[in-house]
Amino acid sequence: MTDTLSLDAELAQLRESLQEHNYRYYVLDDPSIPDAEYDRLFQRLKALEAEHPDRVTPDSPTQRVGASPLSAFPEVRHEQPMLSLDNAFDEASLRDFDRRIHQRLEMGLETPIDYACEPKLDGIAVSLLYENGVLVRGATRGDGTTGEDITQNVRTVHSVPLRLRGDGWPARLEIRGEIYLPKAGFEAINERARSRGEKPFVNPRNAAAGSLRQLDPRITAERPLELCVYGVGLVEGEALAGGQVETLTRLREWGLRTNPEMARVCGIEACLEYYQRLAEKRNGLPYEIDGIVFKVDDLGLQRRLGFVSRAPRWAIAHKFPAQEELTLLQGVEFQVGRTGAVTPVARLKPVFVGGVTVSNATLHNMDEVARLDARIGDTVIVRRAGDVIPQVVRVVLERRPADAVKIELPAHCPVCGAEVERTEGEAAARCSGGVSCGAQRKRAIKHFASRRAMDIDGLGDKLVDALVDSGQIEQLADLYRLEHPRVAGMERMGDKSAENLLQAIEASKTTTLPRFLYALGIREVGEATAVALVNHFGTLEAISRADEQALQAVPDVGPVVAQHVAVFFQQPHNLETLEQLQGAGVHWPAVEIMPKVEQPLAGKTYVLTGTLEQLTRDEAKQRLQALGAKVAGSVSKKTDCVVAGPGAGSKLAKAESLGIAVIDEVALLELLEQA
C-alpha cells in the first residue's frame, strides 16, 4: 500500500476487494486470484483491524465467526410467512398443475406459460434479512410463521454475503434460499465423525440441519455449508421489477449465489424435458437435489394465482424417486471377499429406492452392525444416492418387534469352514483359511505365483482367473497337476505357451523356504517376516508347530503376526495344502545361510490413502516394508511418496500442496514388481 492512502481508505479498499474476490469465487465460480493472494489480503486486513479495533465493522470479511456460543436460539416471527410447495410425483400430476393454472387464468391450453425451472436443493430453508445492504438477521423457516434466529451461524457461511454488492437494492430486503452441504463436504464431515468414533450423519440434509443448529458458531464455521437463493420475501423501499428468473439474476448481481442450472422455459413440455435432463445430470451434480421446482415466471400471473393453504398455486416441486425408504431387515448373510474379509450383508425386503429395487445392502463390518444396533426383523432406513451402493443408515427402533434377532459373527467361514478371526483394532473379520478358502482362491494363487513368491513366469492374473473358472484349479496343489492338452486348448493359449507355462510351473518346484512361506499368503507375513521366521526356526515343520509365544521370540514378530501364523498352521485345510504341495514335488534346500533381502526402498517413507483394489492396505504396507520402506499414517514433509486410490481425501490434498510425489495403485504394483 502506498503512504498516500489513509488508514480508512486502505481498510475500505481491502474489504471491497475481498468482497469482490469472494463474489467471484463463491457466486461466479470464477476466481481471479490464487488462494494465497486472497489469504495475504485477508491477513493484511486482520492485522490492520487488530491495530485499530475501533475501525472494525460488523460486515467486514474478518467478522464471520466471532460471536460466543448461545444458550438458545431466539424466536423470529416471519413478517411474510415462509411457505412450502405442493409435490408432483409423476408426469400426470405435473400436467394437471399446468392445466389448473390455465383454467384459473382462463387461458387456453394452446397458450404456453413461461416457467422458471430450478433444481430443488435438499438442505435447510433460510431467510436472510438485509437492511441497507447489510445482513442483519438470518432465520430458519420453523413452522413457516415462527423460526429461529441463527444469524451468527449463517454469517459463517462463506457464500452468504455480509453486505450486498452494487446498488439499487431495496432498503429492506429479505432473501429466501437453501443452506446445504455439497456431497463432498458431507463425505468429509462424516469421514471425520467416523475417525473420531462419532456417529455419522444419515444424509447431507441432516448434516446441514445439524450444522446450522449449533449453539457455538465456531462449530458451524467448520462445516463446508453453502447457500443457494431461490426467491425473496419481504421487500421494502424500491420494488423489484421482472419475473422470477429476472429477480434471481438481480440477486446474483448483488452477490447472492443462485443455481447455475436455473432456466426459463416455455410450456409444460419444456418443463418435462428440463426434468429429464436434470434427472440424468443428478448423480454428477456436486450437491443433492430431490426434484425440480417449477414456478410461473411472471409475477403478475403469480399474484393472480395466489395461494391455497400453505403453498402457492403458481409453483410445484416435481420430485425425483426417493433416495431413502423404509424396509424390513429379513436376514444377514456373511460373504467372504477375495482378501478373506467376512462381510455382513443385509437381506432386505425388496424396496424401490433411488430409482432401483434394492434387496441387499452391505453392513460393512460388525462394528457397523453394533453402531446401527441392527437386528433381524428390524425396520431400517435404506439409502441409495446416485451410483453409491445401498446403505442401511438407521434402524427405526420404535418399530422393533419383540422377537428381533441379534446378529452374530459366525465362528467359521461360510465358504471353507476355517475359523473366522477378528484382530483387535481392525474392523473386518477374516477367514483364516487363506490358500484353502475358495473365496480367496484366485487371489491366493496369484500371490503364490508372483515373482517374489514362487515366481511362475507366464501365469498372469487373467490366466489364473480362467484356470479357476474352468475348474482346472480348485486348490493350490492343482497347479502342479495341470495337463498340457487342456491348458493348450484354452483361449489365447496354444501348444507353445502351454508348454512354457508347464515348464515354469515345474521349475517353481525348486524354491527356497522363505519364498515358499511368503507364497502361502499368511496374513502379515511379508518377505522380511518369512526370512526372519525361517532363520529362527530353520524348518517348515518347526514353524508350523510353534505356538504364539514361541513365534514372538522371532525378531520383529509381534502378537498380531504371531497369532496369524499360529492360526494358519492350526487349520486342517492349510496343513493338507502344505502336504499336497510337498507331495507334488515342491522342495527347498535345507536352510544354512541367512539370505539377505534386498531393500531398494530403504530410507523412504510412504503413505497409503484411499481405496486400493488389487492389494489390501496390509499387503501394500507389508510389501513396501519388505523392500525397506517405512509406511506412515500421515503426510508430512518427510513423506517421499503417497499412494492414492479412489476416495483419497485430505492426505492427497496435503501431498499435492507439499509437492510430494503421488502414485496410483497400478504404479505401486509396477514398483513392487520391479523392485
Ramachandran bin of 142, using left for φ above 0, alpha for ψ from -120 to 50, beta for the remaining angles: left
Residue 112 CB coordination number (10 Å): 16
Which of 69, 65, 74, 24 has the alpha carbon at shortest distance from 154?
65
Burial class (CB in 10 A: 0-12, 13-18, 19+), 4: exposed
Instruction: Give the nearer residue to ligand IVH in terms of CB position, either 182 or 521.
Output: 182
Task: Tell me the one-letter amino acid at 579.
Answer: E
Q: Tell how strand 172-180 and strand 124-131 pair up.
A: antiparallel
Phi then psi for 641, rounded to 5 degrees? -155, 140
Among 315, 420, 531, 540, binds ligand IVH (CB under 6 A): 315
| Residue 466 host element (H or E) | helix 461-469
From 50-58, 241-249, 309-317, 365-373, span contacting ligand IVH (CB under 6 A): 309-317
Size of the site for ligand IVH (CB under 6 A): 15
Q: Which of residues 53-92 bind ligand IVH (CB under 6 A)?
A: 83-85
Q: How far is the CB of 173 from ligand IVH (least distance, A)?
A: 17
Q: How far is the CB of 91 from ligand IVH (least distance, A)?
A: 19
Q: What is the DSSP string of 367-419?
A: HHHHHHT-EET-EEEEE--TTSPPEEEEE-GGG--TT-EE----SB-TTT-PB
Q: Which of residues 222-251 bind ligand IVH (CB under 6 A)?
A: 230-231
Q: How far is the CB of 230 from ligand IVH (least distance, A)?
A: 4
Instruction: Give the nearer residue to ligand IVH in terms of CB position, either 41 or 235.
Output: 235
Q: How far is the CB of 378 from ligand IVH (least distance, A)?
A: 30
Q: Which of residues 282-301 bind ligand IVH (CB under 6 A)?
A: 293
Instruction: Give the nearer residue to ligand IVH in terms of CB position, either 15 or 120.
Output: 120
Instruction: Give the nearer residue to ligand IVH in terms of CB position, either 121 or 407.
Output: 121
Tell me the C-alpha distance between 508 and 622, whole Å: 23
318 in Cβ contact with 275 (< 8 Å): yes
Q: How far is the CB of 209 from ligand IVH (least distance, A)?
A: 11
609 in Cβ contact with 647 (< 8 Å): no
Q: How far is the CB of 565 from ligand IVH (least distance, A)?
A: 58
Task: Tell me the one-letter amino acid at 401.
Answer: P
Residue 539 to residues 169, 447, 574, Cα–Cα distance (Å) = 86, 22, 17
Q: Which of residues 169-228 bind ligand IVH (CB under 6 A)?
A: 178
Residue linked to cell 469465487: 25
How many Å from the N-terminal Cα to the C-terminal Cα in the chain?
Answer: 56
Tell me the C-alpha distance between 394 and 139, whole Å: 29
For the record, the C-alpha cell of 544 comes out as 508350523
Q: How far is the CB of 87 from ligand IVH (least distance, A)?
A: 8
Q: Which of residues 109-148 bind ligand IVH (CB under 6 A)?
A: 118, 120-121, 125, 141
Q: How far is the CB of 302 from ligand IVH (least distance, A)?
A: 9
Burial 253-264 (b: 16+ CB within 10 A, else e): bbbbbbbeebbb
Instruction: Give the nearer residue to ligand IVH in terms of CB position, either 121 or 643.
Output: 121
Q: Is 120 marked active-site?
A: yes
Residue linked to cell 476355517: 418
Tell me the C-alpha distance between 551 and 655, whole Å: 38
Q: How far is the CB of 289 from ligand IVH (least distance, A)?
A: 8
Residue 537 CB coordination number (10 Å): 21
For the record, the C-alpha cell of 108 comes out as 387456453
360 in Cβ contact with 390 (< 8 Å): yes
Which of 22, 84, 87 has the alpha carbon at shortest distance from 59?
22
Tell me the C-alpha distance between 434 and 340, whole Å: 7
Residues with Cβ within 8 Å of 74's Cβ and at least 6 positions away in sequence, in order, are 148, 149
Residue linked to cell 510430494: 660
Burial class (CB in 10 A: 0-12, 13-18, 19+), 198: exposed
525 in Cβ contact with 619 (< 8 Å): no
Residue linked to cell 526370512: 531
Among 112, 142, 267, 312, binds ligand IVH (CB under 6 A): 312
Q: Which of 46, 120, 442, 630 is catalytic?
A: 120
Asked if residue 317 binds ligand IVH (CB under 6 A), the reply is yes
Q: How far is the CB of 396 from ligand IVH (least distance, A)?
A: 23
Burial class (CB in 10 A: 0-12, 13-18, 19+), 519: buried
Q: Which of residues 460-489 bind ligand IVH (CB under 6 A)?
A: none
Position with the least CB separation from ligand IVH = 125
Instruction: Give the nearer residue to ligand IVH in terms of CB position, either 164 or 292.
Output: 292
Q: How far is the CB of 671 from ligand IVH (least distance, A)?
A: 49
From 297-305, 311-319, 320-328, 355-363, span contacting ligand IVH (CB under 6 A): 311-319
Which of 285, 161, 171, 178 has the alpha carbon at shortest distance from 231?
178
Task: Name the residues that contact ligand IVH, by CB under 6 A.
Answer: 83-85, 118, 120-121, 125, 141, 178, 230-231, 293, 312, 315, 317
> Which are the catalytic amino acids?
120
